[in-house]
Chains A and B, each alone.
Chain A
Amino acid sequence: MRTVSSTRSRWGLRTLGLGYLALLLLAPLVMIFYKTFEHGLAPPLDAITSPDGLHALKLSLLMVAIAVPLNTIFGVGCALLLVRHKWKGNGAIDAIINLPFAISPIVIGLSLFLLYGAKGWFGPGLAEAGIEVLFSVPGMVLASIFVSLPFVVRETVPVLQEIGTEQEQAASTLGANAWQTFWRITLPAIRWGVAYGVVLTTARVLGEFGAVSIVSGQISGETETLPLFVEKQFANFNTAGAFGASVLLAVLALTTLLAMNVLKRKEDA
């Protein structure tokens, strides 16, 4: 039974929760949007459409285009290994996968810098082969993959556990081989878990600053992603450019989230 006091406390809790979220999450976002368009559309638009701005946008999208598919394939495969093939080493794999969550991105950047630098283990060999990892796209891709690696695994594992193995077994009794079973049964059954992992991975890759900032060398128009561009504009007191690029980043991330929600609602209907 609902009593007056329980109704009141419920509303109290809601107000508190929403107020807390508004203050901590929404207020800064609203502020950025407001500041960006304070003097109209032109200043932020100019900043973004400058050659360096456009290059940063392209580079950020390139990071997404490479890191997200790789992490998705790896993530789904790894989740299958963890859930479907019980093995002693699974505990270790599980722990290692969480490393990017635990380690500060800047430390990740530094360790990559050391590993692929002139005195690192891999650096000299790769340099001889003519592959420059640091201060160029390969290093930035590596950093992006590293920091965003756990998301697909983490979102897929519980879904795989939940669907169980019966549907897969049923498919095999109906003549489907492992590959057919994966494409026709397993993947469709886990697709929302994977999709959510993909969205989180995309958001993380788009927003990554620390690790990429170290391995990229932040060369304008060459190795600058959108977050690095924002930082440089801000440091150079070009607030219009910084805010404009920030809003662009936020819009990209929100679009990914919205796209998934729309798709999911269609599916449920």
Chain B
Amino acid sequence: MGISVEGASKSFGDFQALNDVSIEVPNGSLTALLGPSGSGKSTLLRAIAGLETLDAGRVMIDDEDVSKKPTQKREVGFVFQHYAAFKHMTVFENVGFGLKIRKWDKARISDRVHELLRLVQLDGLADRYPSQLSGGQRQRMALARALAVEPQVLLLDEPFGALDAKVRKDLRTWLRNLHEEMHVTTIFVTHDQEEAMDVAGQLVVMNEGRVEQSGSADDLYDHPANEFVMSFVGEVNRLGDGFVRPHDMDVVLDADENTEEAMVQRIVALGFEIRVEFVLADGTEVWAQLTRAELQKLELRQGQIVYLRPGKTKSFNGDVPSSDGSGASTPHGSQDGGDAEVSAAV
């Protein structure tokens, strides 16, 4: 069941959370809404579920306008950041809640709940209360609860935001696998670009209530439509009017016409990756990402004067982006956001 949102706007008092947002989520896809806090991504997700009413625009699920439908009739599964576990119910009762509302008979509910608990690996914990579960277990219970009613779409609002790093990573992988098994159209909100790239096939980058760009992780990383996307998706150095990724910074020991003088300020070893921080003649601070082998070859040390050759510099200042961000692989709808940004900049 595909989802599309057309021209969605929503204000809370003076704050405009959504400003004419349109997105298109293909049937069966796993899409991430990515953006900093206050970018409107959660509001958009909640509007799709009917938990917020839009000031303008409409929400279509499976080509049906559901804007006027109350939440309980939209058949969406929703997972909240803080689990929203029913505290007075056991895990079994939590997962079976939607089925009980749908008046399934007891035996059928029991079969379905146990099937789901096996799926989320909580089968031994059916009689526990949410307070007796860890954060990760609670979130898996919430997911089972949302999936129990076989929703048309699954919406996850920063589902791993309250969990620690290790559990987060495990659940990420697990969610990806689950999606491959179930193929229910899924939208998932996050502010963590690594998480978005890890889990989702399609990303929608939002900022200040608007869609900046959407596309695959590669699209966004290699062909960002604007400065915001470039700096939000991946690391970036600013050189004059241009932007360059730290791994596109070549460090050389001899100057030529394309290099710039720089002094090594600090060398940080992060496992395989080495982060070298420089200061340029004009005082600009930049950094380069090197491998261990590259560092050993260059024999860099603090205070040394070297030369940087920035490759693949991008500029968004009036120029058309060096490569087109809305290529063939970019799904529909996304172009609206991307193009709007680009044309606004021209």
- List chain A positions with a Cβ less than 8 A from chain B: 166-167, 169-177, 180, 184-185, 188-189
Cβ-based interface call for B88 (8 A): yes
Determine chain A's interface SS by DSSP, over half rule.
helix
CA distance A34 to B78 in the complex (A): 62
Contacts of A173 in B (CB 8 A): 49, 51, 71-72, 74, 76-78, 146
CA distance A166 to B145 in the complex (A): 14
Whether the pair A175, B149 counts as a contact (CB closer than 8 A) is yes
CA distance A180 to B86 in the complex (A): 14
Cβ-based interface call for B108 (8 A): no
| With known contacts A174-B101, A174-B149, A175-B101, A169–B71 Cβ distance under 8 A | yes
Whether the pair B82, A166 counts as a contact (CB closer than 8 A) is yes
Cβ-based interface call for B2 (8 A): no
CB B83 to nearest CB in A, in angstroms, measures 8
| With known contacts A173-B78, A174-B98, A176-B101, A167–B71 Cβ distance under 8 A | no
CA distance A189 to B85 in the complex (A): 11
Whether the pair B72, A166 counts as a contact (CB closer than 8 A) is no
Contacts of B102 in A (CB 8 A): 175
CA distance A54 to B82 in the complex (A): 55
Whether the pair B84, A170 counts as a contact (CB closer than 8 A) is yes
- List chain B positions with a Cβ less than 8 A from chain A: 49-51, 70-78, 80, 82, 84-88, 97-98, 101-102, 142, 145-146, 149
Contacts of B74 in A (CB 8 A): 173
CA distance A177 to B98 in the complex (A): 11
CB A106 to nearest CB in B, in angstroms, measures 42
CB < 8 Å: which of B70, B87, B142, B145 contacts A172?
A: B70
Contacts of A175 in B (CB 8 A): 72-73, 75, 98, 101-102, 149
CB < 8 Å: which of B51, B75, B87, B101 contacts A180?
A: B101
Beyond contacts A169-B84, A170-B142, A175-B75: 10 other A-B pairs, Cβ-Cβ < 8 A, are A166-B80, A167-B85, A170-B145, A173-B74, A173-B76, A173-B77, A174-B101, A174-B146, A175-B102, A185-B86
Contacts A/B (CB < 8 Å), 26 sampled: A167-B84, A167-B87, A169-B51, A169-B80, A170-B84, A171-B86, A171-B97, A172-B70, A173-B49, A173-B51, A173-B71, A173-B74, A173-B76, A173-B77, A173-B78, A174-B72, A174-B98, A174-B101, A174-B145, A175-B72, A175-B73, A175-B102, A175-B149, A176-B98, A185-B86, A189-B88
